């Protein structure tokens, strides 16, 4: 397959989580640091401050909201700098603390579970990501109900984890559930519904059902075109994905046609120095390789 499953739901999940963290920080002490640009360097002064503060609380045996606040500060820092291994280490501690303070049936707790599952996914521990993703899903079902955007997001993320683990049948099962929730919550003319279609198409493609993948990919493409327009990165992604399904089916002319459209959009919208533009170039080159 030329394209890749559109995994932006993971990104949406993390953006939402960062918002929750920021809200938490404000809630705890209302004097959140502002204006600092994190570099992600190993010896970052701000990281040292967070670590020292946490160590002091632990030395005194303090496990209250102030201690949780310090963990949240540090987790937010790791989120912003894509420090996945460190996020896993401190995230586990943070989840335990938030559970003790707020209980399991709280939106903060489930957001932390979702976020931690993502970091495990990023370091390649799909089994642990699935374990935590399932926990988050169960809590969300109880806290929000099944007709909630966050529940659909967790379904989508969990489907991606199973897909990358190679269990495409389970990914399809969860992807269909996410699609149904998004349809009911947002309607069919919504980016999240199009994302669910695109992801589901990818799972079918992995199973070798290219006709079904193309059918769903076309639907996603049309919705994205109508909702976001043709000069949008998500539209280029849907084009690229669809090109991949046609390539897998052996229709290389159609794959090249769609790939060229995706390439032009990415060139215009993102520029030639963007990773997605390089991806389109690579996919297009692959489609043009002569087959026996």
What is the DSSP secondary-structure string of 199-264?
HHHHHHHHTT-HHHHHHHHHHHHHHHHHHH-SSSHHHHHHHHHHHHHHHHHT-HHHHHHHHHHHHH
Q: Which residue has the tokens 């820092």?
A: 77
| Token pair of 22 as six digits | 């920021």
Pair 204, 176: CB distance under 8 Å: no
Mean pLDDT of 32-49: 56
Q: To the nearest whole number, what is the mean pLDDT of the chain?
A: 83
The alpha carbon dihedral of 111, 112, 115, 117 has a sign of negative
Predicted pLDDT of residue 148 = 93
With tokens 């003790």, the residue in question is 100
* pLDDT band, very low/low/confident/very high, at 8 (cuts 50, 70, 90): very low
Residue 35: pLDDT above 70?
no
Scanning the structure block, which residue is given the tokens 């912003």? 80
Answer yes or no: are the C-beta atoms of 269 and 236 closer than 8 Å: yes
CA distance 66 to 91: 16
Angle at alpha carbon of residue 276, lines to 271 and 278, rounded to 5°: 80
- The pLDDT value recorded for residue 33 is 37
- What is the structure's pLDDT at 290? 60
Mean pLDDT of 149-175: 95
Query: Would the pTM of this model clear 0.85, i.e. be above it?
Result: no
The sign of the CA dihedral 235, 239, 245, 248 is negative
99-118 residue pLDDT tens:
887 788 887 788 888 889 98
Kindly report which listed range (50-59, 192-201, 267-276) carries the lowest average pLDDT score.
50-59
How many whole angstroms separate alpha carbon 199 and alpha carbon 220? 9
Segment of 4-13, 22-31, 222-231 carrying the highest mean pLDDT: 222-231
User: Can you give the pLDDT at residue 166?
Assistant: 94
> How many CB atoms lie under 10 A from the CB of residue 113?
26
- Cβ of 246: how many Cβ atoms within 10 Å? 24
User: Which structure tokens are listed for 228?
Assistant: 């976001």
Of the pLDDT bands very low, low, confident and very high (cuts 50, 70, 90), residue 60 is: confident
Contact 270, 277 (CB under 8 A): yes
pLDDT on residue 195: 94
At residue 218, the pLDDT reads 98
CA angle 72, 146, 177 (to 5 degrees): 105
Return the ∠ at Cα 77 (arms to 72 and 80), rounded to 5°: 120
């Amino acid at each position: 397959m030329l394209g890749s499953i559109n995994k932006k739901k993971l990104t949406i999940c993390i953006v939402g989580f960062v918002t929750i963290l920021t809200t938490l920080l404000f809630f705890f002490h209302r004097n959140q640091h502002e204006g600092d640009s994190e570099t992600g360097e190993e010896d970052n002064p701000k990281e040292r401050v967070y670590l020292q503060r946490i160590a002091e609380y632990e030395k005194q045996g303090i496990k209250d909201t102030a201690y949780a606040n310090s963990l949240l500060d540090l987790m937010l820092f790791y989120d912003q700098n894509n420090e996945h291994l460190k996020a896993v280490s401190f995230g586990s501690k943070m989840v335990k603390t938030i559970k003790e303070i707020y209980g399991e049936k709280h939106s903060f707790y489930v957001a932390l579970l979702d976020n931690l599952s993502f970091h495990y996914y990023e370091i390649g521990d799909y089994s642990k990501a699935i374990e935590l993703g399932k926990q988050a899903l169960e809590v969300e079902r109880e806290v929000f109900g099944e007709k909630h955007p966050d529940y659909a997001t967790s379904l989508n993320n969990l489907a991606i984890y199973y897909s990358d683990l190679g269990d495409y049948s389970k990914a399809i099962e969860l992807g269909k559930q996410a699609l149904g929730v998004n349809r009911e919550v947002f309607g069919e003319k919504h980016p999240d519904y199009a994302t669910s279609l695109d992801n589901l198409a990818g799972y079918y493609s992995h199973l070798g059902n290219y006709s079904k993948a193309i059918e769903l990919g076309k639907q996603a493409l049309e919705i994205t075109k109508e909702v976001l327009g043709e000069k949008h990165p998500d539209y280029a992604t849907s084009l690229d994905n669809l090109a991949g399904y046609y390539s897998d089916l052996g229709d290389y002319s159609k794959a090249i046609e769609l790939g060229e459209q995706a390439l032009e959009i990415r060139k215009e919208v993102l520029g030639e120095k963007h990773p997605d533009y390089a991806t389109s170039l690579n996919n297009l080159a692959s489609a043009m390789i002569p087959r026996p």
